[in-house]
Amino acid sequence: MILEVFTFRRIVALLAALLTVALVPSISAAQSVLAPPAAEPVGRNPLVKAVSGIGVRQCLPALSDLVTIGARDAVNSDLLLDWDRAHPDKGAVFSLVGLQYGQSNAAMSIAAVPGADGNCSVAAERVEFLPQACVQVAQHELRGYQATQLLARMTVYTTPRDAGSTVSLIDASPGCLAIRRYVKVTQTVTSSGAAR
């Protein structure tokens, strides 16, 4: 399928670029970046159900944590999923999760790559259009973050407490395009299956 090939090539290129990002101590660091403040967990997790059904086990805890955090407050969701059908637990898993919030929508791309040592590397990006100006979004959600002007209408925000995370705000008058990114190379999975 052409969509699967395009998605796979795009994600592989993105993952190669992401591997240079600094390591962070735990998946919980993604919480402040992937989910806006004061969000509650979503009641169901379609990605976990889908990847469990195809045989993904090694990266399941990390995928579950990321989509639970990133899909908070969503009233509905759906997903596209790409994986190594011959070796589902040994190959990379790529997903695009569509999220519905009342009158707005967001998309979240999540990739997980199992390591030979039993660990799992993950990358997630959550993209949404916000009706406020980017300056207002930054003042409300990103206090204490360092701002770096990347392009004329794009600013990237970072904080030392979330070393593998960034929030990029792109001016898109009358609102703001927000891209919340989290990367963790070698996500440790404990013997009980919990990500740390």
C-alpha to C-alpha distance for 17 and 128, rounded to whole angstroms: 22
Confidence category of residue 82, pLDDT binned at 50, 70, 90:
very high
Per-residue confidence (pLDDT) for residue 66, from 0 to 100: 87
The gap from C-alpha 36 to its chain's centroid, in whole angstroms, comes to 13
Phi, psi torsion values for 77, nearest 5 degrees: -155, 160
Q: In this structure, how many other beta carbons lie within 10 angstroms of the beta carbon of residue 191?
A: 6
Q: In this structure, how many other beta carbons lie within 10 angstroms of the beta carbon of residue 80?
A: 15
pTM given for the model: 0.71
What single-letter amino acid sits at 158? Answer: T
Torsion of CA 8, 100, 41, 25, to 10 degrees: 30
Q: Which two tokens stand for residue 22?
A: 């600094």
C-alpha to C-alpha distance for 26 and 74, rounded to whole angstroms: 24
Per-residue confidence (pLDDT) for residue 190, from 0 to 100: 52
What are the angstrom distances between the C-alpha of 56 and each of 30, 116, 177? Answer: 21, 14, 32
pLDDT tens figures, 41-59 = 444 577 888 888 899 999 9
pLDDT tens figures, 6-53 = 343 443 333 333 332 222 233 444 444 565 554 444 445 778 888 888
pLDDT tens figures, 148-166 = 999 999 999 999 988 889 9
Q: State the DSSP H helix or E strand holding residue 15, giving kind and residue range, or none if neither.
A: helix 2-18
Q: Strand pairing partners for 151?
A: 154
